[in-house]
Amino acid sequence: MRYLITFSYDGSGFNGYQKQDGLRTVQEEMEKALEFINGGEKTVITSSGRTDKGVHALCQKAHVDINVNITPYKLMRALNSNLPDDIHVIKTEVVSESFHARYMVKEKEYQYYLNMGEYNPLKRNYEWQYGKKLDIKKMQDAIKYFEGEHSFKSFTPNKDHRNNYIRTITATNINVLDNTIVFTFRGNGFLKYQIRNMVGYLIKVGEGKKKGSDIPNILLGNDRRLASITAHPEGLYLKDVQY
């Protein structure tokens, strides 16, 4: 039976989502718990996509095939008793054998948290402690240039070779709560470091060092060197995955 699992995790204790020998990863912890439930059989989980080291997920989704007979509710309960306390399963449901958690993604939402105020030790792993005032209006104008269908090659590492750098951003938003800026991006998919590189550029716009109106040309240039810094991972959250 194929199950779709919705789960959250605190990225601060992991070397990213994807399995790597000898390092603690979300995938490995999930597969360990699943293997135990699946009668000791090696069990591979397929997520909607990986998240980098230090990046959090409030709503990650993944599919898995389980051979033992178990209801979705019992699977959720069994996972939560076998998982460490920095991963939590929110929901489990039966899906068809043809469902695929990565290939069938329609839309994803990410949020990025940045603190412009005093360094906060309690939030050091949960928002970038940037500590400088930024011009919000300029950033709110600039973020709109990312909306629509574009090649985002200038916002992903040059060495990350792919056939296709075209992605569609369907919605963006910038909100401010006290000194914390919350950037929101929705789209049909995102390249490696794309959000952190877009946020990095927007920060420089907020500092008056870059211009929002240059974004269309940077997108057309297809070269990472045209853009700017990469925002730190701890401010980034995978917020939603839609099929």
State the catalytic residues: 52
178 binds a copy of itself (CB under 8 A): no
Shorter beta-carbon distance to a copy of itself: residue 25 or 197: 25
Q: Which of residues 9-28 bind a copy of itself (CB under 8 A)?
A: 9-10
Q: How many CB atoms lie within 10 A of CB 209?
A: 10
Q: Hey, what are 67's tokens? A: 């051979």
Q: Are 104 and 214 in contact (CB under 8 A)?
A: no
Q: Minimum Å distance from CB 7 to a copy of itself?
A: 9
Binding-site size for a copy of itself (CB under 8 A) equals: 18
H/E stretch holding 238 reads strand 236-242
Tell me: does residue 56 bind a copy of itself (CB under 8 A): yes
Closest to a copy of itself by CB, 125 or 170 = 125
- CB proximity list for 20: less than 8 A, separation 6 or greater: none
Angstrom distance (rounded) from CA 61 to CA 105: 10
Structure tokens at 182: 């919350």
Query: Residue 192 gets which letter from DSSP?
Result: T
Site string for a copy of itself, 73-112 (x = CB under 8 A): -------x----xxxx-x----------------------
When the beta carbons of 103 and 177 are compared against a copy of itself, the nearer one is 177
d(CA 31, CA 17): 12
Shortest distance (Å) from residue 198 CB to a copy of itself: 23
Closer residue to a copy of itself in complex, CB, 10/93:
10
Find the shortest distance in angstroms from Cβ 58 to a copy of itself.
7
**One residue of 24, 32, 124, 162 binding a copy of itself per CB under 8 A:** 124
- Token digits for 163? 């056939």
Beta strands in the chain (DSSP E): 2-9, 45-47, 56-65, 87-95, 107-115, 128-129, 148-151, 166-177, 180-187, 236-242
- Closer to a copy of itself by Cβ: residue 8 or 184: 8
CB of 86 to a copy of itself, least distance (A): 5
| CA-CA-CA-CA torsion sign (201, 207, 210, 213) | positive
Q: Which of residues 207-236 bind a copy of itself (CB under 8 A)?
A: none
When asked if residue 177 is in the footprint of a copy of itself (CB under 8 A), the reply is no
Residue 162 and residue 233: Cα distance in Å, rounded?
Answer: 22
Q: How far apart are CA 28 and CA 86, in angstroms?
A: 13
Examine residue 120 and tell whether it contacts a copy of itself (CB under 8 A). yes
List of residues contacting a copy of itself (CB under 8 A) = 8-10, 56, 58, 80, 85-88, 90, 118-122, 124, 126
